[in-house]
Amino acid sequence: MQLLLNILSCPDKVRTLGLEDWDLVLRFARHAHLLGHLYYLMDQNALWELVPEKVRDILMGGHIYNRFFRLQARREIRQIAEVIQNVPVILLKGAAYIESRCGAYGGRRLSDIDLMVRQSELTAVEKTLLASGWQYGEVNEYDQHYYRDWMHEVPPMVHQYRNMEVDLHHNIVAPVSRIKVTAQKLFDKAVAIPDSSFLRLENKDLILHSATHLFFNDELRGGLRDLVDMHELCMEFASQEDFWPELVSRARELGMQRPLYYALSSLSRFLKTPVPAPVMAESQKDRPSFPVRVLMATLIQRQLAPESINKLNTPFVAWLLFIRSHWIRMPLPMLIRHLSHKFWRSKFSSP
């Protein structure tokens, strides 16, 4: 994995790679869904002459695969724009990067479109999508309750004639979770995307949302790819006068300081992102207790940057992260009820 991390942080490191090294890099990159991103790095840094022909073919395949999904996403975004009008809609994560062409959008792959609207407009927008051909997947009565009463989004939807999933949010964290985010603060600083009817989060909020999504909302499911997103965004925004000095204060304002701590620590550790020392020191004030910090550092290492190919799949680590992700997102009585229901369905529901 270290070879891949070296290239992600400094593409010129491909100059030192032999065929055996490339074999390892490609195996790790495929696992992390980063083949298309490697193509992007080689292309942007004019390094193709250093890449063996067989490797070029593999990276080209990753690029074509990602490009297909990006084209699907752009088409879906255009279709959504036609039916949702006169309502402020924020594109989130991959959809925002691609539509606004920020970060490493050219190497990004995505399988869904994440939208956010104000909660007061959620029902109307949802009805508009449903009336225009989008429909829920397989959701039962409990799933409807789970999403509508506990989560920050409605059940996922897919258009009856297309396969791109649309996730409609009213916040970026669940209202029952330990982190409480006032969505209006995100809307207050959202910026218009040029030549688009959509908005995206302000630069610092883009980082904070990605950090929260990776280190809080899921069991590090986004993996190294999400960390690469943050690295590329930080490198793009670093020259802006207010970006680094105000990042930690914005995180505290929104209640996202703990995910930001994990993000900055991981960016510096794995991708050598040049986080200014004063920013890192200020973020360190929001770190957890020593035992939690050591445990999380180990879990993050094993999940995002395993040392060898044989450690790509670690069921026990995945289980610990699964428990942790639910523990911080739900109060204990709710968590017990939810996990009991999932266990019951997995054991006794009909196939």
Under CATH, which number does the domain 2-348 receive? 3.30.460.40
DSSP 153: B
- The Cα–Cα gap between 171 and 211 comes to 15
DSSP notation for 69-138? HHHHHHHHHHHHHHH--SS--EEEHHHHHHHHT-SSGGG---SEEEEE--HHHHHHHHHHHHHTTEEE-S
Q: Check if the beta carbon of residue 134 is closer than 8 Å to that of residue 159.
A: yes
Domain edges within the chain: 2-348
Mean pLDDT of the chain: 91
Q: Check if the beta carbon of residue 170 is closer than 8 Å to that of residue 116.
A: yes
Please write the tens of the pLDDT for every residue from 213-267. Answer: 999 877 788 789 999 999 999 999 999 999 999 999 999 999 999 999 999 999 9
Look at residue 348 in the predicted model and tell me its pLDDT. 61
Please write the tens of the pLDDT for every residue from 69-91. Answer: 999 999 999 999 999 999 999 99
pTM: 0.91
Look at residue 349 in the predicted model and tell me its pLDDT. 58
Pairing mode, if any, of strands 157-159 and 134-136? antiparallel
